[in-house]
């Protein structure tokens, strides 16, 4: 399907046998492996999208101090809320 | 090592403002992944909510930034309110939550672009990293 990424998880037969011998819950391990693979794939997608976003942004823009801007935005909103009438 | 990601670091990375090494480290998450206090989401959201109004980004770019945040895989932690309260004297509430979370973690390190946070003296040299 277009736009979908396939991630393959392989469990080696030797590992499977060893896991059984050690009493490891295969289903639980698989769930964790799948969750980890999904997390990695989403993170990879995020990085790729960020790189595309950077290309769109003007290189010579002066952004200012990010932390100070965040503090000011949060403070401004709180001030606006405190003066808002119900 | 568990990395606490500061909102300013996330925003600066999203805007392509981090240097090569810092950006590369952010793009290659630690085994434990990144964690952040719930204030992180509020701070990042506020920034990108206002960015189109300030003329810094288009609505589409701001939306893309938030979608990237959603995909980034940051585990949000609800910091106990009194843990943050201990640090709020000299810091904003968001900063206090980031500091409290870092201190609560065994081997926690705060990655930030906010030099004021690293100079605050609350965290030791091993507990913070200033990304440039």
Give A25-84 pLDDT, tens digit per residue: 777 777 778 778 788 889 999 999 999 999 999 877 777 888 888 888 888 877 777 666
More confident residue, B99 or A28: B99
Alpha-carbon distance B95 to nearest alpha carbon in chain A (angstroms): 9
Q: So what's the ipTM on this one?
A: 0.88
Rounded-to-10 torsion of CA A49, B68, B4, B86: 150
Q: Which of B5, B8, B117 to mutate to test the interface with A (most CBs of A within 10 A)?
A: B8
Distance between CA atoms of residues B100 and B87, nearest Å: 7
Per-residue model confidence as pLDDT tens digits over B24-70? 999 998 878 899 999 999 999 999 999 999 889 999 999 999 999 99
Between CA A15 and CA A23, with CA A19 as vertex, the angle to 5 degrees is: 175
Q: What is the mean pLDDT of residues B71-80?
A: 95
Q: Are B13 and A61 in contact (CB under 8 A)?
A: no
Residue from the list A39, A46, A67 with its beta carbon closest to the beta carbon of B116 = A67
A39, A57, A71 member nearest B15 (Cβ): A57
Q: Is the pLDDT of residue A1 over 60?
A: no
Closest-CA distance, B121 to chain A, in angstroms, reads 17
Residues in chain A: 86
Which residues of chain A are within 8 Å of residue B13 when distances are taken between CB atoms? 50
The whole-angstrom separation of Cα B5 and Cα B102 is: 9
Q: How far is B8 from chain A, CA to nearest CA, in Å?
A: 5
Q: What is the mean pLDDT of residues B69-98?
A: 93
Q: What is the reported pTM? A: 0.82
Kindly list the structural domains of chain B, giving each domain's residue range(s) and its CATH number in brackets, ordered by start.
Answer: 2-130 (3.40.50.1010)
What SS3 state is found at B87? coil
Q: For residue A2, name the pLDDT band (cuts at 50, 70, 90).
A: low
Reported as a pLDDT band with limits 50, 70 and 90, residue A24 is confident
- For B111, the token pair is 């990655």
Q: Is the CB of A56 less than 8 angstroms away from the CB of B113?
A: no
Q: What is the pLDDT of residue A10?
A: 58
- Kindly state the average pLDDT of the residues B71-90: 93
If you average pLDDT over residues B113-122, what whole number do you get?
Answer: 89
**Would the CB atoms of B16 and A69 count as touching at under 8 Å?**
no
């Amino acid at each position: 399907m277009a736009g979908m990424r396939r991630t393959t998880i392989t469990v080696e037969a030797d590992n499977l046998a060893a896991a059984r011998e050690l009493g490891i819950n295969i289903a639980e391990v698989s769930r964790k492996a799948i969750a980890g693979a999904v997390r990695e794939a989403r993170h990879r997608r995020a990085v790729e999208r960020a790189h595309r976003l950077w290309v769109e942004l003007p290189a010579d823009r002066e952004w200012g101090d990010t932390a100070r801007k965040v503090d000011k935005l949060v403070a401004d909103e709180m001030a606006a809320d405190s003066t808002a009438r119900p | 090592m568990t990395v606490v990601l500061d909102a300013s670091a996330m925003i600066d990375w999203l805007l392509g403002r981090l240097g090569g090494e810092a950006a590369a480290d952010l793009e290659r998450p630690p085994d434990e992944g990144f964690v952040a206090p719930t204030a992180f989401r509020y701070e990042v959201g506020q920034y990108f909510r206002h960015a189109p109004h300030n003329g810094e980004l288009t609505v589409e770019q701001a939306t893309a930034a938030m979608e990237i945040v959603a995909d980034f895989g940051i585990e949000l932690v609800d910091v106990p309110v009194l843990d943050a309260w201990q640090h709020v004297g000299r810091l904003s509430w968001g900063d206090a939550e980031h500091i409290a979370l870092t201190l609560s973690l065994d081997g926690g390190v705060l990655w930030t672009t906010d030099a004021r946070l690293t100079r605050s003296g609350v965290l030791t040299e091993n507990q913070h990293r200033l990304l440039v």
